[in-house]
Amino acid sequence: MRAHIVALVFIFLCTTIAWAILGTTIFNRTYSHDSTLKNQVTSIWGAPHVQKPPAALATEVTYRQEANYENRKRVVRTVKDETTVAIPLEMSRINVDLDLEHRQKGLLWYSTYKVGFAGEYVFRNTSKGDLVTCTFYFPTTQAIYDDLVFTVDGEPVKTENKNATIVATAKIAAGKTAVLAVRYRSQGLDSWRYVFGDDVTQVKNFELRMKTNFGDIDFPENTLSPSKKTPTSTGWELTWTFRNLLSGFQIGMVLPQKLQPGPLAGQISYFAPVSLFFFFFLMFIITTLRGIDLHPMNYFFLACAFFAFHLLLAYLVDHISIHLAFIVCSLVSIGLVVSYLRLVVGIRFAALEAGLAQLVYLVLFSYAFFFKGFTGLSITIGSVVTLFVVMQMTGRIRWSEKFGGKARLASV
């Protein structure tokens, strides 16, 4: 019996090493090319968007008399001086529509999205001049901008592209206000942000409305929470409203990630020894109680059937969805075990005891990784239930007799 147990431990350790190698291989396949694949997605789709408010500079023109001596004669000339003055942003009204569309590259899904941006900005010309240069900053250079509209007081103006900005000059009388309107459609990756400035910035009469087609919303660190959240049929409508804000924080949205097939397959592979331990443990208890002779070689083939599940899953998720791959691998592994034990022991033991145990400890324990945040709790509950069942089954067993020993418990 001792040699039998030693052989089982040896098989278990060898299979554990194989799973460790497989899990490491999966993670290497997943992340070794992650930066390259992400750059490919960025080049095709677009980079994360970081939108800034526009800026406006007014040009003040003054004239002064300047006297110089030329050829011993005093010459007075009129000199024109131009000074640029930043004019304040009085009001912002912004609408953002985020439309999530996941894209897969290799073993990873990337959170790509389409964005529709529409902003109206009210500037007040506090300078003495009437020539104002408006500059709008594109959120990233790695993106396309379609249906771009740039107007001042509802009128299109001549624009010029300079270093990821669009610049226009318009006449705004001193003391008057003008509305700069910008609209575009674009595409981005992972996150969308709106920054008020490079440092602590004062923001007046600000409102940003964001609509999403996804319900799993998340806000990045150092960002402001929305003033109002309203659920819609497809996602959320979020509103940020500030009358007079002084802050260095931003407004942001992290796009939800899809279940990642590569990391999930790697985690399941690393966890596989726990599943095999419970399966071997239960099979050893049942066969010992019933006097069924399972040779260590039989356990070796059972371990191979378990390993086949993870090996097939590792390479099948490249081609089909993770859920479908999981079902296929489960059926293959259970089929291997049941068809094998049918020949070794019998169809009843193979289908009932062994098949049910594999369904619980391989399939259900592995499927617990699909439920983020509940994996540990699910496996713990399963482990405790298993311990209770086994303790009830073996509570009256004299293990010294089962293992051939002569020791007896002394009666008290």
Residue type, 371: F
3-state class (DSSP) for residue 240: strand
Q: What is the pTM of this model?
A: 0.72
Average pLDDT over residues 276-286: 90
The secondary structure of 299-353 as a DSSP string is HHHHHHHHHHHHHHHHHHTTTS-HHHHHHHHHHHHHHHHHHHHHHHT-HHIIIII
Residue type, 86: A
Give the model's pLDDT for residue 408.
43
Summarised one tens digit per residue, pLDDT across range 298-328 is: 999 999 999 999 999 988 888 888 889 999 9
Q: Where in the chain is the domain with CATH 2.60.40?
A: 49-254
The answer to whether the CB of 216 falls within 8 A of the CB of 69 is no
3-state class (DSSP) for residue 249: coil
A 10 A CB-CB count for 361 gives 24
Residue type, 333: S
The β-bridge partners of 241 are 207
Q: Name the phi and psi angles at 267, rounded to 5.
A: -65, -40
Q: Which CATH class is domain 49-254?
A: mainly beta
The β-bridge partners of 116 are 97, 185
The answer to whether the CB of 179 falls within 8 A of the CB of 153 is yes
List the 89-105 sheet strands across, edge first: 155-156, 146-152, 177-189, 108-124, 89-105, 201-212, 236-247, 228-231
Summarised one tens digit per residue, pLDDT across range 350-406 is: 998 899 999 999 999 899 888 877 888 888 888 898 888 888 887 777 777 666 654
Summarised one tens digit per residue, pLDDT across range 158-216 is: 888 887 889 988 888 888 899 999 999 999 999 999 999 878 888 899 999 999 999 88
Q: Where are the beta strands (DSSP E) in 71-200?
A: 73-86, 89-105, 108-124, 131-137, 146-152, 155-156, 159-161, 165-171, 177-189, 191-194
